[in-house]
Every structure is written in C-alpha cells, then in structure tokens.
Amino acid sequence: MSRFTMEEVGWTPRIPPVEAETATPAQLAALEACPPAQRRSTYFLTLANDPASLGERGALFNTVMYAPRGLPRADREFSTAIVSMANGCVYCTSVHARRFADLSKQREAMQRVLDEGHKAEIDPRRRAIADFSEKLTLTPGAVTAADLAPLRALGMDELELLDLIHSIAMFANANRLMQSLGESEPPAA
C-alpha cells in the first residue's frame, strides 16, 4: 500500500497560527496576496507569523499556479503532485492530486500513479512531465538539455516549459514548508 492518497489529509501546525481576528494590518495584507481559496487556511495563517516573506511568497505561488495561458493548469497540478510524492509530502500530494483529478477528470490515472508511482503513467505527455518533475526535484544539478528533449518532442513551447520549471521549483519550497512547520494526518485507514 502506498502512503499517498487523494483523500483529505489533515495538517496541524507546530507553532501557533495567526488568529484572523487579531491579525495585524501587515499580516492581513500579506494574506491578501495569497490564493483566495486558501488564504484563511491554517497553513497560510501559520505562515502569516512572518508577513514580509508571506506576501512575496504567496504572490509568487499564486502566479506560478494560476497565471493564464502557458502550461495548462491540470499539468501544473499533476507536476506538483509528482514533486510532492518525490519529496514525501503526503499532504501536498493529496491536495494537488485531487485538483488534477478535478480539472482533468482523470481520477483513475491519478490514483494509479499514487498507488504505483509515476512509472505507471501511460499517457506520454504526463509521463514526460512526471519524469522531468522528479529529476529536477531530486537531482537538479544533473538536469541538462537532454532532459528537455522528451517535452520538446511532445510539442511543449518555451512558455509552457518555463511554467513547468516554476511549478516544480515552487514545490521544492512548498513541500519543505509544509513538512517542517506542521504534521500531516492521513485519513483513518
């Protein structure tokens, strides 16, 4: 059994999150820069303890995951689920696998990857995205132009490739924050 799931996973912070009612103006302004659907989550309220970094980092996350055009959103979610698996972040994997499944309607394909790893992916585009995502995550120093060739062969253009690199890099960041600052609680088996 794989430890990865698309079910809701809980997350408990190891330091007290900011309370929305008593947040300072700087903390509220920083939260405003974060993705609207998530800015009242425990995770973002925990990051709000340091508003200066949250404001910039939240805005970066927002544009990397949601900027229009370029790499389709489903591909960004798929890639970040693969990165989160490679880093062992059960919480982030669950969130982004679920978003990919909702956007793509490819729930079974996603479940297979969660259960068996990304080598089980049969769709050529997703497989190429997954291979590149894992390599840039685990061995960034070993990535060369040859690693881009499979993506190019599938017709990926410059902007899509830049978006893919940004998504992968963003989750080198997001997974570490999530794993360090709190504990994930997998659903009861």
Contacts with another protein by CB under 8 A lie at: 14-16, 46-47, 49-50, 52-57, 59-60, 62-64, 67, 70, 87-89, 136-137, 140-141, 143-145, 147-148, 152, 158-159, 161-166, 168-170, 172-177, 179-181, 183
Q: How far is the CB of 92 from another protein (least distance, A)?
A: 11
Q: Give how far the C-alpha of residue 63 lies from the chain's centroid of Cα atoms, to the nearest Å.
A: 13
Q: Quote the CA–CA distance of 120 and 60 in Å, as a whole number.
A: 32
Neighbouring CB atoms inside 10 A of 23's CB total 17
Q: How far is the CB of 82 from another protein (least distance, A)?
A: 13
Nearer to another protein, 52 or 188 (CB): 52
Nearer to another protein, 85 or 101 (CB): 85
Nearer to another protein, 122 or 145 (CB): 145
Q: Quote the CA–CA distance of 109 and 101 in Å, as a whole number.
A: 8
